Amino acid sequence: MAQQVNDVVRAVFLDRDGVLNRDKGYVYRESELELLSGVAPALRRLKDLGFLLIVVTNQSGVARGLYGTADVERFHDALSRAIAAAGGPRIDDYLYCPHHENGTVAAYAIVCDCRKPKPGMLLTAAKKHGIELTRSFMIGDKADDIEAGRRCGVTGIQVGTAYGPGHPDAMAVVNSLEDALGFIH
């Protein structure tokens, strides 16, 4: 069915590690994938509310030479399969930043516009999918995730505070993706 002209395209932007899967530090092997509890039903609920689901993740391990872009893409395929196997919906898009200014792989050892807290990945997704950013949400476990959203008008919800205090502009700090649902309308 074609989208009507007056329909607003909204998205929930999701950080990956620590929000969807357990963050074990530079996770890229399928064998390391551990879907967090409640993720699949929470994603299903967001999809039922009409949101696009867009993963936006910093993957500096590429710039650091720990793994390659093909490894990131294989991991995303595995993550999609795990979500589907748990009854969750399809992720509409995956965007990742392979850059880090202190990387050891010259092609990726740059200052870029996509590494969160910069909003490049969100802006790219908005352009690609016609997303109304001011009607969308960013869910992440780090202040940089919330800041990336703030910089382009996206409402942030922070999951946990394992990486320090919650971002002052976060709408809420919650324990899990499931808990974030209460703040999304």
Mean pLDDT lowest among 4-8, 20-24, 51-55, 175-179: 4-8
pLDDT at 4: 34
pLDDT at 90: 97
Assess contact for 11 and 53: CB atoms under 8 A. Answer: yes
Please state the φ and ψ torsions of residue 161, each to the nearest 5 degrees. Answer: -135, 35
Please write the tens of the pLDDT for every residue from 110-163: 999 999 999 999 999 999 999 999 999 999 999 999 999 999 999 999 998 666
pLDDT at 53: 98
The set of catalytic residues is 15, 17
6: confidence class by pLDDT, cuts 50, 70, 90: low
Which CATH topology does 11-183 take? Answer: Rossmann fold (3.40.50)
Helices 120-129 and 143-150: angle between axes, nearest 10 degrees: 50
Record the pTM: 0.94
Assess contact for 9 and 130: CB atoms under 8 A. Answer: yes
As a whole number of Å, the end-to-end CA separation of the chain is: 23
pLDDT at 185: 84
Please write the tens of the pLDDT for every residue from 71-85: 999 999 999 999 999
Reading the block at residue 71, the tokens are 């490894």
Could you tell me whether strands 52-58 and 11-14 are parallel, antiparallel, or unpaired per DSSP bridges?
parallel
